[in-house]
Amino acid sequence: MENRVSVTTPEHVKLDFHTAGIGSRAVSLLIDWLILGVVNGTLLVFAILFSLYSTGVGTPFWSSVTIGIFLFQFFFLPLCYYTLTEYFLNGQTLGKKAMGLTVVTDRGTAPGFLAIVLRNLLRIVDTLPLLYLTGVLTVFINGKEKRLGDLAAGTMVVHRDPGRIPRIQPLYRHEAPVFTSGELIGMKDAEWALLGHFLAGREEMFPEARREIARKLALSFLPEGKAEEGREEFYLEAAYLQRNERGAPASHGRQTEAGEVFHGV
């Protein structure tokens, strides 16, 4: 049975997420373990060679190198793998990416570096006493299917929707691309989804709230100084259409759909 969670972003946009359960998270974890296993196997060969060499030489230096390799292999390597992939791949490890999962904050935004580090540091506790028993029990008990690391970091793992977000109706004419591809490359999937929901529902908002939300979104998502004051919505729409259509300008009145994003209202 699907477990859905509704959150309100700092910009007061409501999003609906389908949280990831034990099954999908377990498969993604197995994929990550296979990847780490290949890397660990390679490092193990080097560690054995170092160990044999240090035994023959008999110096403390090479013994320390061998111990360092083992420590890196069994503690720092997994931490680095989970942290760096989730940070640079928009909340996804390679296993999560294969299973269509991603990490978001409790407010529906992309997690920051510190949150990612914290949730992965506590992965050690979640594995106790073995086979992620603590983490599994926490996921079952928690309504948002969180493990301890997620509870501490204020994050959750959700499914990505291979379908579409609601259609948006462009309200402005964009004769030429407003942004370069480099200016939009930093926009994360969670931010794109949030922007799409705002643009889809903006005509139902009160004018004051609509302007304020557009201003906050522009400050958060657009390059500094790019959006003119009072015309934030125009630039947000341009950014969304360009990212959605890979730089192709959109004509007035054309309806646009997004590709792979989160489940949304």
Residue 203 per-residue DSSP state: G
Show the tokens assigned to 38.
């290949």
Ranges in the chain, pLDDT < 70? 1, 11, 53-63, 66, 161-167, 245-265
Q: What is the pLDDT of residue 13?
A: 72
Show the tokens assigned to 253.
């009145």
Residue 252 per-residue DSSP state: T
Task: Give per-residue pLDDT as tens, 126-162.
Answer: 998 888 889 999 998 988 899 999 999 999 999 876 4
The one-letter code for the residue type at 252 is: H
What are the Cα distances from residue 32, in Å, to 59, 92, 119, 184?
Answer: 36, 11, 16, 29
Domain boundaries, the chain: 17-161, 181-262
Q: What is the pLDDT of residue 92?
A: 92
The one-letter code for the residue type at 12 is: H
Q: Cis check for the bond before 207: say yes or no (omega within 30 of 0).
A: no
Task: Give per-residue pLDDT as tens, 158-173.
Answer: 987 644 455 677 888 8
Contacts (Cβ under 8 Å, ≥6 apart) of 56:
none
Show the tokens assigned to 234.
């125009």
The one-letter code for the residue type at 119 is: R
Q: What is the pLDDT of residue 202?
A: 86
H or E segment to which residue 211 belongs? helix 207-221
Q: What is the dihedral of CA 221, 10, 166, 92, to 10 degrees?
A: 70
H or E segment to which residue 15 belongs? strand 14-18
Q: What is the pLDDT of residue 228?
A: 81
